[in-house]
A and B are shown apart, each in its own frame.
Chain A
Amino acid sequence: MIATLLQDFGRVTLTAIARMGRGNLFMLRVLHALPSLRFGGPLLVQQIYSVGVLSLQIIAVSGLSVGMVLGLQGYNMLVDFGAEQSLGQATALSLVRELGPVLTALLFAGRAGSALTAEIGLMKVTEQLSAMEMMAVDPVKRIIVPRFVAAFLSMPMLAAIFSAIGVLGGYFVGVGLLGVDSGAFWSQMQSKVNFGEDILNGFVKSIVFGLVAAWIAVFEGYDAVPTTEGVSRATTRTVVETAFAVLGLDFILTAVMF
Chain B
Amino acid sequence: MGNRVNATNNNGAFVNERANDSLVKVRGLSFRRNERVILEKVDIDILRGKITAIMGPSGTGKTTLLRIIGGQLHPLQGSVEIDGLEVPALSTPDLYELRKRMGMLFQTGALFSDLTVFENVAFPLRVHTRLPESLIRDLVLMKLQAVGLRGAQALMPAELSGGMARRVALARAIALDPMMIMYDEPFTGQDPITVGIIMKLIQQLNATLGLTSIIVSHDVVEVSAIADYIYVIAEGHVMEHGTPAELGHSKSPWMQQFLQGLPDGPAPFHYPASDFATELFGAPGA
Contact = CB atoms under 8 A, between A and B. Distances in A.
Interface of A: 122-123, 126-128, 130-131, 133-138
Residue of A122, A130, A135, A137 with most partner-chain B CB within 10 A: A135
Nearest to A131: B110
B99 A134 contact: yes
A130 B110 contact: yes
B278 interface: no
A122 B102 CA distance: 25
Closest 6 CB pairs of A and B: A131-B110, A127-B110, A136-B96, A136-B99, A134-B104, A127-B106
A126 B127 contact: no
B128 interface: yes
Contacts of B110: 126-128, 130-131
Interface of B: 67, 70, 72, 96-97, 99-100, 102-104, 106-108, 110-113, 123-124, 127-128, 169, 172
Quick one: which of B96, B97, B172 has the most chain A CB within 10 A? B96
Given A126-B108, A127-B106, A135 B113 contact: no
Contacts of B111: 128, 131
A131 B128 contact: no
Majority-rule SS of B interface residues:
mixed
B189 to A, nearest CB: 14
A130 B96 contact: no
Nearest to B99: A136
Contacts of A135: 99-100, 123-124, 127, 172
Contacts, number: 47
A135 B110 CA distance: 12
Contacts of A123: 113
Contacts of B72: 130, 133-134
Contacts of A128: 110-113
Given A135-B123, A135-B124, A137-B127, A130 B97 contact: no
A47 to B, nearest CB: 11
A135 B113 CA distance: 16
A15 to B, nearest CB: 14
A131 B106 contact: yes
B108 A127 contact: yes
A134 B181 CA distance: 11
12 contacts: A126-B108, A126-B110, A131-B104, A134-B70, A135-B127, A136-B96, A136-B97, A136-B99, A136-B100, A137-B124, A137-B127, A138-B96
A14 to B, nearest CB: 15
Contacts of B123: 135
Nearest to B128: A136
Contacts of B102: 134
Given A126-B113, A131-B106, A131-B112, 5 more contacts: A131-B110, A131-B169, A133-B72, A134-B102, A134-B103
A135 B100 CA distance: 6
Contacts of A127: 106-108, 110
A122 B123 CA distance: 19
A126 B161 CA distance: 15
Nearest to A125: B108
B186 to A, nearest CB: 14
- Name, among B97, B99, B107, B169, the residue most crowded by chain A CB atoms within 10 Å (CB to CB): B99
Nearest to A122: B113
Contact of B106 (A122, A130, A138): A130
Nearest to B100: A136
A149 B127 CA distance: 21
A5 B250 CA distance: 54
Q: Which of A122, A130, A136 has the most CB of B within 10 A?
A: A136
B212 to A, nearest CB: 16
A131 B108 CA distance: 10
A126 B107 CA distance: 9
